Amino acid sequence: MLFRSAEFTIGAVRAADLPTNGQPEIAFSGRSNVGKSSLINRLVQRKKLARTSSTPGKTQQLNYYWINGDFYFVDLPGYGFVQGGVGLREKLGRMVQGYVEKREPLRAVLQLIDMRHGPTESDRIMIDWLKGVNTPFLLVFTKADKLSRNKQKGLFDRLESEGTLAGISFVPFSAVSGQGRDDIVEWIEDTLRGDVD
Ligand SMILES: Nc1nc2c(ncn2[C@@H]2O[C@H](COP(=O)(O)OP(=O)(O)OP(=O)(O)O)[C@@H](O)[C@H]2O)c(=O)[nH]1
Ligand SMILES: [Mg+2]
157 in Cβ contact with 123 (< 8 Å) = no
Q: Which of these, 64, 57, 53, 104, lies nearest to 82 by C-alpha position?
A: 57
Tens-digit pLDDT profile for residues 156-174 = 999 999 999 999 999 999 9
What is the rounded CA–CA span in Å between residue 42 and residue 30? 16
Name the residue type at position 186. Answer: E
Q: Is the pTM of this model over 0.85?
A: yes
Q: Is 142 in the pocket of ligand 1 (CB under 6 A)?
A: yes
Q: Is 145 in the pocket of ligand 1 (CB under 6 A)?
A: yes
Tens-digit pLDDT profile for residues 106-142 = 999 999 999 999 999 888 988 988 999 999 999 999 9
Q: Is 38 in the pocket of ligand 1 (CB under 6 A)?
A: yes
Tens-digit pLDDT profile for residues 38-92 = 999 999 998 888 887 776 555 578 999 999 999 999 999 887 654 556 666 666 6
Which has more confidence, 176 or 194?
A: 176
Q: Whose CA is nearest to atom 6 of ligand 1?
A: 35
pLDDT above 90: residue 184: yes
**Run of H or E including 25:** strand 25-30
pLDDT given for residue 46 in this prediction: 87
Q: How far apart are the first and last CA of the chain?
A: 20
Spans of all domains in the chain:
6-193
What is the Å distance from ligand 1's center to 21 Cα? 30
pLDDT given for residue 93 in this prediction: 73
Report the CATH fold assignment for 6-193. Answer: Rossmann fold (3.40.50)
